[in-house]
Amino acid sequence: MGTRLSVSVERWPLANVFTIARGSKTEAVVVVAEIAREGKVGRGECVPYARYGETVEGVVAAIEAARPALEAGGNRQELQAAMPAGAARNALDCALWDLEAKLAGQPAWQLAGLPAPGPVTTAYTLSLAEPEAMGEAAAKAAHRPLLKVKLGTADDAARIAAVRRNAPGARLIIDANEGWRADNLAANLRACADAGVVLIEQPLPSSDDGALADVERLVPVCADESLHDRATLPKLAGRYDAINIKLDKAGGLTEAIALARDARALGLDLMIGCMVGTSLAMAPALLLAGQAKVIDLDGPLLLSRDREPGLRYEGSLVYPPDAGLWG
């Protein structure tokens, strides 16, 4: 038998409304690619993201366009050249990694030449809301060691204070999702420093982040929307202290591995992040978690239910995937 590609769209309800500076959502809409070859099936999941001009229909179409090459025996290296970075390539790249691991009878981390992954502590995300509501959410999650706080409004100092007051022992990451501006950047950095925040993600719009080079970064700043694949690394020098590697942006694990290597060579710290998806989307990213200072792979914790088998979460501790899930 030859190679067969199948693609499907899945909808996974969220446990609660998830709100960031750009809007709210009540479900995770994911695209799953499956590649069957020699009696084995590899799977990959991606999350089309409107911020990057992606739609579910467009991602499905891009995956379908790759069908002839894949079913003719195409590999990951050919995929990198044939498709741009983004969600569609991520689903196919991760499916090919999973397939290679199954065909070889070896775990994907071993095929990639990476250390064996172990359990890691993930951040847990607090959705953007009014300060009082965010304080209440922080109190409920105060037992978690690392909280990621969604911000990006004109009144973020009050939100930061409310979260810190209600979760005094947790390490805090702030994610403004491009919601701050140059004229409030310094004040917001100061509020974060006063609250003991350990990292700030993408405070300014990616098109206007030059101000980061001219302000005292009282807290390390991490590029998210300003960073996709290796081609976007050079412009980050002097503006950021870390990068958030998401497989959906990088276009798969293959590029993410290379991106992590090149970023560390430039002296940038790593954060491994995710879109809101199931355990199938988180599993490949866990192969890079050992290189990162911060891990944010809590997508399944935000769902009302995860796929089975899924990743094992014990509180904020997440374990590497079993072969039944991926890799």
Q: Which residues are part of the catalytic machinery?
A: 150, 246
d(CA 44, CA 67): 15
Q: Is 252 helix (H, G, I), strand (E, B) or coil?
A: coil
Q: Residue 305: what are its φ and ψ, rounded to 5°?
A: -155, 155
Q: Is the dihedral of CA 310, 55, 152, 229 positive or negative?
A: positive
Structure tokens of 165?
């007051």
Which residue type occupies 104?
A
d(CA 160, CA 174): 8
Closest-CA residue to 3 (of 60, 61, 75): 75
Closest-CA residue to 287 (of 313, 315, 253, 240): 253
d(CA 298, CA 303): 9
Burial class (CB in 10 A: 0-12, 13-18, 19+), 171: middle
**Residue 13, by phi and psi: left (phi above 0), alpha (psi -120 to 50) or beta?**
beta
Burial class (CB in 10 A: 0-12, 13-18, 19+), 301: buried
Residue carrying the six token digits 């904020």 = 316
Q: Is 32 helix (H, G, I), strand (E, B) or coil?
A: strand
